[in-house]
Homo-oligomer: A and B are copies of this chain.
Amino acid sequence: MTAIGFEKHDHNRCIATALAEAETRCADQKLQLTPVRRRALEILLQRHRAMGAYEILDLLAADGLGSQPPVAYRALDFLVQHGFAHRIERINAYTACAHPEQDHIPAFLICRGCKAVAEAETELEQGRLGAAAQATGFAIERIVVEAEGLCPACQEHPA
Q: Does A128 lie at the interface of the complex (its beta carbon under 8 Å from any beta carbon of B)?
A: yes
Q: Does A96 lie at the interface of the complex (its beta carbon under 8 Å from any beta carbon of B)?
A: no
A128 B123 Cβ-Cβ under 8 A: yes
Number of copies: 2
A144 B90 Cβ-Cβ under 8 A: yes
Which among B111, B143, B155 is the interface contact of A147 at CB below 8 angstroms? B143
Chain B residues closer than 8 Å to A1, beta-carbon distance: 131-132, 135-136
Which among B6, B112, B145 is the interface contact of A136 at CB below 8 angstroms? B6
A contact face: mostly helix, strand, loop, or mixed = mixed
Q: How many A residues have CB within 8 A of the partner chain? A: 43
Q: Does A103 lie at the interface of the complex (its beta carbon under 8 Å from any beta carbon of B)?
A: no
| Min CB–CB distance A149 → chain B (angstroms) | 4
B146 A144 Cβ-Cβ under 8 A: yes
| Min CB–CB distance A98 → chain B (angstroms) | 12
Given contacts A6-B136, A118-B132, 11 further A-B contacts (CB under 8 A): A1-B131, A107-B129, A109-B136, A109-B140, A120-B132, A138-B149, A138-B152, A140-B149, A141-B150, A142-B149, A144-B145
Task: Report the 3 A-B pairs with minimum CB-CB distance, sorted nearest first.
Answer: A120-B132, A137-B152, A1-B135
